Every structure is written in C-alpha cells, then in structure tokens.
Amino acid sequence: MNQQAVHEEDALAHLRQLIAQYVQALHPGDCGGQPIDFPVMESLLKTLRGKYHVVNGKLEVLNGDEKHLIGQRIKLRSVLGCRHPDPSGICAVCYGRLSYSVPRGTNIGHISAVSMGDKITSSVLSTKHLDSTSRVEKFILGKTEAKYLRYRDQDEQDLYLKRELKGKSKRIVVFRNEVQSLVDILMLSSLDDYPVGNASNLTMMQVIVDEGDEGQTSELLRVSLYNRKSSFSKELLEHIANVGWSHDAKDNVVIDITTFDVSKPFLSLPFKHVNMYEVMKRIQSFLHSGSDTETKRLGERGDDSNRGRKNFLKNYKDPVEALVVFATMLNEKVSINLVHCEVLVYAMMVRSATQRDYRLPIPGISGVFEKYNTLMMNRSLADAMAFEKQDRPLINPGSFIYTKRNDHPYDLVMLGGRLT
Ligand SMILES: [Zn+2]
C-alpha cells in the first residue's frame, strides 16, 4: 500500500512540478507589493516562518510562533501580491526569508514543487495503514454566529445553542445536499456507534426564531471552517429522529429545534482521522480542479471532501481564500512553508480564461484559476509535450492560434534554440 502510494505521489509530484516551473526567478529587493489580508489560523501559524507582514507601514518578519496573532487578519506580503514587473518572477520580500536559501538562478517553482513532494513522500512512507493522528482547528465564531452559538468551555470542540434561545420557537434550514444521509438515522435504533459526521456536512445554516409579537428573526450562519464542515451532534440527530423534518419551497431541509435541549451539544467540528494517502489525493483533486483524467481516478471514493460540491481550486474567485484552503489541506499532515503553497496557487492562475490569455497574472493581486489540463495544453508547447498525451498539442489548432504563452525551461528542447 505504501509503495503504491509513493509511486502515485511521484507521478503527481511530476505534474505539480510541470506547472510550478512557470514561476521562475527570484529577484533581489522589494517590489513594494500589495499585502494580502491573511487570516492567521492555528494550523498555519508555523508555516508563516520567515514571511513578512506589514505593521504600521513597516515590514516585520514572522517567526511562526506569534500565538497572539491567531484568529486575526494580518497584512501579509505574498507571492500573490508581488508587483515585480516580471510576471514569472517574485521579489525577495514577497517571497520571504526563505529567499536566503535559494541559490542564484534556481527556478523557484521547482523548489516549491520539490519541497512539497519530499514532505509528502516521506510522510506517506512513515505512515502506517491507519494513522489516526490529526490536528484540530478551533472554529472562531463570527459576529452573527455568536448570537446563536457558543462553546461550553475552552477545549470543547462542540458548539452549543445560546441559552437565551431556550424555550423560544425556532427552526433551522439547511441545504438538502448537505444532509443527504440524514435518512440513515431513522434506520438505526441507537446512534451510539454511528459516525455522526456521516449524516451531515454543513457549510451554512439558516436560523429562524419566532419573537412573538415582533415577528421573526432569520439569519444565515456560516458553520464551516474552510474545507472543514461541521455536522449535527449525536444529540441533535436523536432530536431530529424524534421530531422529523420537512422541506421548504426551495427543497431545503427544515428542522424544528424548539424543544432541543440547549445544554446539549448542537454541532460538532469533528476530529479528522485521515491518512497521508487521503490527504495526497485530496490535494491533487483540489489542484486539478476536475481535469478529466484525475477526477475519475481520485474523486470516486466517498471520503468526506468529495461529498456534495467538489472542493476545487477553480471554484475560487478569491486567490487568498484559495491559498488558505490549499495551505490548510497540505498542513493537515505535514508542515510546508506558506511560500511554497503561494507559488503553487500562483502558478495555477491565468490572466484571462475568456480571452484565452493563459500567461501568469500581471503583477499585483489579479488573475483567475484555470483547470490543470487547460493550463498544461495552453501555456507552453514544450510543457504540453512533457505532459501525458504528447500528440494532442500537435493536432490541436489552438496550439498555433493562441500565442500568449509563458516561456518555460523546456522550450529549449522544443524549439532547439538558445535562450534569448
Ligand atoms: Zn514583490
């Protein structure tokens, strides 16, 4: 199993490398780039080591142990916001202190892809069949969410309903596709051994409270933490098994929670028990955004990330959010400096898919994500040739029509020329 996993990771690492290599040069100095608004999460703090952030207009370096920053947003200097005029190059400040360890003239995309591959491979190798170590990210309640939900104590992973809601007539509305297996609970006489995470995978939840003469209040709560979705607690599932549910006009699921005991857990953000192999598959499926070969192979098995809407890079409009999701996914099992995640995410962006401009984004925070296969076919002919279906670029008329491409180190092989 491990050997097969290592073999598969090797192949995937090669694909990551082909795309990452477009991010080429590290330029000395400071481009004065635009910082990104980065949420510091517990699991990502360590990965920020050596990155710069802007405090009162000044650059400060992060050590990765600034616990006081957890839960805050910082102005992070990032590959995504680099304004260096070379779109395939990054300045040393946006890159971070790791730039000191990059030998002159090295392709930084290559470094990021290799660092990632090495960490993943050694983690796969050191993993037994069922490795149950996991890290848990505390879900920080937003303003709206805190009106309805609370933690009972510091270390608690479960969310409770606010006491003020006790006795009030209230109901929740959730998307039907996020509670697809809810019917399971009606089949079981006891939920004691039932993995509660199976019944629901929630991103959003609407809470409607009847306020008597004042009518009713209704608010939408976000109950997921990036790629980690919350689920109904066992107690709530037992409640639902008793009171049942109904559907509204939009076919959402409506659950009356008037009689639910506010002293019992309401939602839980489960501990994740995943092994490296699953993490690896998830990362690849995310990066490839459902390119035709990969989804069929990787998306079939029903681990929770594949349930409901697929978690694909291409679905993200905001590059910063995409970066946070990608980094969180990777760092669930291994520790990889944020800059490597930034380089990979940046390499997956193009200027304009609608205008078929597949070059790396112009300096500053811009660009949109594209499917891996589309990128491989359209960025550089040489790279497309190094990819799997070598005949395709040659018979694809687009190869000769779209000329807005990036240079790639392999171009030399294709064109047989010298670097100009
Ligand atoms: Zn820069």
- Under the banding of pLDDT at 50, 70 and 90, the label for residue 340 is very high
**Considering the domain boundaries, does residue 383 fall inside one?**
no
Q: Are residues 280 and 254 in the same domain?
A: no
**Considering the domain boundaries, does residue 400 fall inside one?**
no
More confident residue, 305 or 378: 378
Residue length of the chain: 420
Token digits of residue 291 = 């390119």
Output the CA 266–ligand 1 centroid distance in Å: 45
| Kind plus residue range of the DSSP H or E element containing 319 | helix 319-330
Give the burial string for 117-154 (b: 16+ CB within 10 Å, else e): bebbbebbeebeeebeeeeebbbebeeebebbbbeeee
Q: Are residues 229 and 290 in the same domain?
A: no
Q: Are residues 213 and 105 in the same domain?
A: no
Output the CA 336–ligand 1 centroid distance in Å: 21
Nearest alpha carbon to residue 325 among 348, 302, 350: 348
Output the CA 52–ligand 1 centroid distance in Å: 11
Indicate whether 400 pLDDT > 80: no
Q: Are residues 296 and 371 in the same domain?
A: yes
**Considering the domain boundaries, does residue 384 fall inside one?**
no
- How many domains would you assign to the chain? 2
Q: Are residues 78 and 32 in the same domain?
A: yes
Alpha carbon distance 167, 261 (integer Å): 9
Output the CA 317–ligand 1 centroid distance in Å: 22
Per-chain mean pLDDT for the chain:
80
Output the CA 85–ligand 1 centroid distance in Å: 9
Output the CA 31–ligand 1 centroid distance in Å: 4
Output the CA 100–ligand 1 centroid distance in Å: 15
**Considering the domain boundaries, does residue 396 fall inside one?**
no
**Considering the domain boundaries, does residue 382 fall inside one?**
no
Q: What is the pLDDT of residues 68-109, one digit of tens each?
A: 988 788 999 999 999 999 888 999 999 999 999 998 888 999
Output the CA 403–ligand 1 centroid distance in Å: 27
Q: What's the average model confidence in pLDDT over 53-81? A: 92
Output the CA 82–ligand 1 centroid distance in Å: 4
Output the CA 321–ligand 1 centroid distance in Å: 19
Q: What is the residue range of 31's domain?
A: 2-129+274-376
Q: Are residues 153 and 255 in the same domain?
A: yes
Output the CA 162–ligand 1 centroid distance in Å: 46
Residue 383: per-residue pLDDT: 56
Do β-strands 25-27 and 89-91 pair in parallel, antiparallel, or remain unpaired? Answer: parallel
**Considering the domain boundaries, does residue 399 fall inside one?**
no
Q: Are residues 102 and 123 in the same domain?
A: yes
Output the CA 24–ligand 1 centroid distance in Å: 13
Q: Are residues 124 and 16 in the same domain?
A: yes
| Boundary residue ending a domain (240, 271, 302) | 271
Output the CA 62–ligand 1 centroid distance in Å: 17
CA angle 317, 385, 382 (to 5 degrees): 80
Q: Are residues 160 and 234 in the same domain?
A: yes
Residue 389: per-residue pLDDT: 53
Q: Are residues 267 and 278 in the same domain?
A: no
Output the CA 158–ligand 1 centroid distance in Å: 41
Q: Are residues 157 and 239 in the same domain?
A: yes
**Considering the domain boundaries, does residue 87 fall inside one?**
yes
Q: Are residues 151 and 175 in the same domain?
A: yes
**pTM of the predicted protein model:** 0.62
Percentage of the chain modeled with pLDDT above 70: 78
Output the CA 77–ligand 1 centroid distance in Å: 8
**Considering the domain boundaries, does residue 386 fall inside one?**
no
| Boundary residue ending a domain (220, 239, 271) | 271
| Boundary residue ending a domain (223, 251, 271) | 271
